[in-house]
């Protein structure tokens, strides 16, 4: 047995999900170890038992954390997103695949020394899907987890492979001597585009929705890089964090798979812009599609079938599109930008 302090590791702690998740984990009493390539945000630092600035490709650094802490769960959020990945595909592969493998190795080492499986939460993405053309996209409807898995971006390929690595470590990697369990209990959500009142994402392709909103709140013009009629599934950040916590704590026996779709609403970019204008009547929004980014969103499904998540672990988003604006985004961005 070990005398190390039990803790939960969050990689990519400064990112969109990390911000909210660190708060939620700390509020629930977890000893959070926050890791990011940049200095951990001042607001998050006091909530953490430890913070570490470092690169997930540095396995020595991860091992040193593993010597200090007994990781019971890993929330591996660090990733290089879809648009950025198309400009630096080899770097995306290193960060998204080798980085994930390093975290899985760390989980195995933690499990081997504690004798208990480590729960590994992996945010996958609708980018894992790849739909060949607009005709197929229209016919596909709400896509299920096992359909259209031919991603067209490096990030999507990386996420899909990350899911397979997790399945391998959960079901096929050598068992812990202690009780014949496998060392990693991998659970993954294919997130839709996420919209947060507190953070503006960077490097993604679904970023147009949060960018429109934040630009309008700051009183800046915004030219949307996808066509007005393109539709994608989205979700408010509080529902995304609730979902990741619900999946993390669901009894293993209730899970019929290692990867789940979730969704909440699927507006077109034009419908989203109309709501931004309703709440910020002076918003200057226009559409100026970019060929690469338009092609990426066209390869993702217009909506997802999340019935497995609803059945297995009770997923049910609290925020529809209007409530997301009226009760979460608009009050949140007004606070953030000091708007009366
Ligand atoms: C991206 O646009 O790359 C991400 C995602 C959908 O995973 N937001």
Q: Residue with the nearest Cα to atom 7 of ligand 1? A: 125
Domain range enclosing 295: 195-235+263-303+318-335
**What pLDDT does 271 receive?**
98
Do 22 and 156 belong together in one domain? Answer: yes
**What pLDDT does 183 receive?**
92
Do 32 and 78 belong together in one domain? Answer: yes
Centre of ligand 1 to C-alpha 205, Å, is 6
- CA of 201, closest atom in ligand 1: 8
Q: Which tokens in the block code for residue 187?
A: 């659970």
- Taking the C-alpha atoms of residue 187 and residue 122, their distance in angstroms, rounded to an integer, is 6
Centre of ligand 1 to C-alpha 285, Å, is 21
Q: What is the pLDDT of residues 294-323, one digit of tens each?
A: 999 999 999 999 999 999 999 999 999 999
- CA of 203, closest atom in ligand 1: 3
- Taking the C-alpha atoms of residue 159 and residue 181, their distance in angstroms, rounded to an integer, is 25
Centre of ligand 1 to C-alpha 82, Å, is 6
**What pLDDT does 182 receive?**
86
Q: The dihedral of CA 110, 115, 121, 124: what is its sign?
A: positive
How many separate domains does the chain show? 2
Q: Residue with the nearest Cα to atom 1 of ligand 1? A: 204
Q: Known catalytic residues?
A: 155
Within-domain flag for 162: yes
Within-domain flag for 61: yes
Residue pair 113/2 in contact (Cβ under 8 Å)? The answer is: yes
Q: Which residues form the pocket of ligand 1, taking CB atoms under 6 Å from any ligand atom? A: 81-82, 125-127, 155, 193, 204-206
Centre of ligand 1 to C-alpha 52, Å, is 25
Out of 227, 245, 261, pick the residue that ends a domain. 261
Q: Ligand 1 pocket: which of 92, 96, 127 to mutate (most atoms <8 Å of CB)?
A: 127
**What pLDDT does 174 receive?**
83
- CA of 232, closest atom in ligand 1: 6
**What pLDDT does 330 receive?**
98
Phi, psi of 138 (to 5 degrees): -65, -40
Do 83 and 48 belong together in one domain? Answer: yes
**What pLDDT does 179 receive?**
66
Are β-strands 69-76 and 193-195 bridged in parallel, bridged antiparallel, or unpaired?
Answer: unpaired
Mean pLDDT of the chain: 96
Nearest CA to 339 among 196, 213, 237? 213
Residue pair 108/173 in contact (Cβ under 8 Å)? The answer is: yes
Do 252 and 148 belong together in one domain? Answer: yes
Helix (H, G, I), strand (E, B) or coil at 302: coil
Do 146 and 178 belong together in one domain? Answer: yes
- CA of 153, closest atom in ligand 1: 3
Q: What is the pTM of this model?
A: 0.96
CATH number at residue 223: 3.90.25
Do 218 and 244 belong together in one domain? Answer: no
**What pLDDT does 14 receive?**
96
Q: Which residues of the chain have pLDDT under 70?
A: 1-2, 178-179
**What pLDDT does 186 receive?**
98
């Amino acid at each position: 047995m070990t005398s190390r302090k039990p803790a939960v590791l969050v990689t990519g702690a400064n990112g969109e999900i990390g911000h909210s998740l660190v708060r939620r984990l700390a509020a629930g009493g977890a000893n959070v170890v926050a890791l990011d390539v940049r200095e951990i945000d001042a607001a998050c630092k006091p909530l953490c038992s430890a913070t570490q600035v470092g690169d997930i490709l540095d396995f020595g650094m991860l091992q040193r954390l593993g010597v200090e802490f007994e990781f019971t769960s890993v929330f591996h959020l660090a990733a290089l997103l879809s648009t950025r990945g198309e400009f630096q595909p080899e770097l995306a592969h290193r960060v998204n695949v080798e980085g994930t493998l390093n975290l899985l190795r760390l989980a195995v080492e933690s499990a081997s020394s504690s004798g208990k499986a480590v729960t590994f939460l992996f945010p996958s993405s609708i980018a894992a899907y790849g739909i060949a053309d607009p005709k197929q996209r229209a016919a596909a409807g709400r896509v299920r987890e096992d359909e259209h898995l031919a991603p067209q971006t490096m990030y999507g390929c990386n996420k899909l492979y990350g899911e397979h690595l997790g399945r391998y470590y959960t079901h096929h990697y050598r068992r812990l001597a202690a009780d014949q369990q496998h060392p990693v209990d991998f659970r993954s959500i294919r997130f839709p585009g996420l919209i947060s009142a507190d953070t503006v994402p960077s490097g993604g392709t679904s970023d147009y929705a949060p960018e429109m909103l934040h630009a309008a709140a700051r009183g800046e013009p915004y030219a949307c890089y996808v066509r007005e009629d393109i539709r994608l599934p989205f979700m408010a950040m509080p529902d995304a964090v609730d979902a990741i916590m619900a999946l993390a704590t669901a009894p293993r026996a209730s899970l019929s798979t290692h990867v789940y779709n979730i969704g909440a609403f699927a507006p077109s970019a034009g419908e989203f812009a109309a709501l931004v204008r309703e709440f910020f009547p002076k918003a200057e929004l226009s559409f100026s599609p970019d060929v690469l980014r338009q092609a990426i969103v066209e390869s993702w499904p217009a909506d997802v079938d999340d019935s497995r998540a609803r059945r297995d672990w009770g997923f049910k988003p609290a925020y529809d599109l209007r409530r997301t604006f009226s009760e979460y985004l608009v009050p949140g961005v007004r606070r953030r930008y000091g708007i009366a």
